[in-house]
Amino acid sequence: MFMYGKQIMGIRACTWVYAFLISFTFVTYLIGKFELDGLTTAITVLVLALLKGHLVGLYFMGLVRVKGFWHWPVTVWLIVPGSLISIAFYLSYQ
């Protein structure tokens, strides 16, 4: 477990997360720049954003090292508004 911890929690892991966050941001920006629309595109953009938020919560905020109740608040926060936003966009396309 400690070895697993060492591998996923160090600054190297955070640097990789940073690289992913930057990459996902550029993908999101390009989708906006080319004004791609449609439900699938909107949900893809949202999923990318939720994934970015999840990575920030786990690695930057250090919740990957936390067990129990306090491991989950950021994840739950991402899921609940994320689901509501998805429902609203889905309904707007009906």
Partner 1 sequence: MPTIVLKNNCQSTIKHYPPGDLAIWFFILAELLVFGIFFASYAFARMNNVELFNELQNTLDREAALINTLALITSSYFVVRAVTAIGENNSKLCFRWIVAAIGMGGMFLFVKSGEYAHHLSEGITLSSNTFYMFYLSLTFFHFMHVIMGMVILSAIAIKTRNGSYSANNCTGVHTGAAYWHMVDLVWLILFPLVYIMR
Distance in angstroms (rounded) separating the CA atoms of residues 22 and 18: 6
**Least distance CB 81 / partner 1 (angstroms):** 4
Inter-CA distances, 8 with 5, 18, 26, 42, 75, Å: 5, 14, 24, 31, 18
Site for partner 1 contains 49 (CB under 8 A): yes
Contact characters 7-46, partner 1, x per CB under 8 A:
--x-x--xx--x--xx--xx-xx-xxx-x-x----x--xx
* 8 in Cβ contact with 64 (< 8 Å): yes
Residues 70-89 that bind partner 1 (CB under 8 A): 70, 73-74, 77-78, 80-82, 84-85, 88-89
Site for partner 1 contains 58 (CB under 8 A): no
Site for partner 1 contains 66 (CB under 8 A): yes
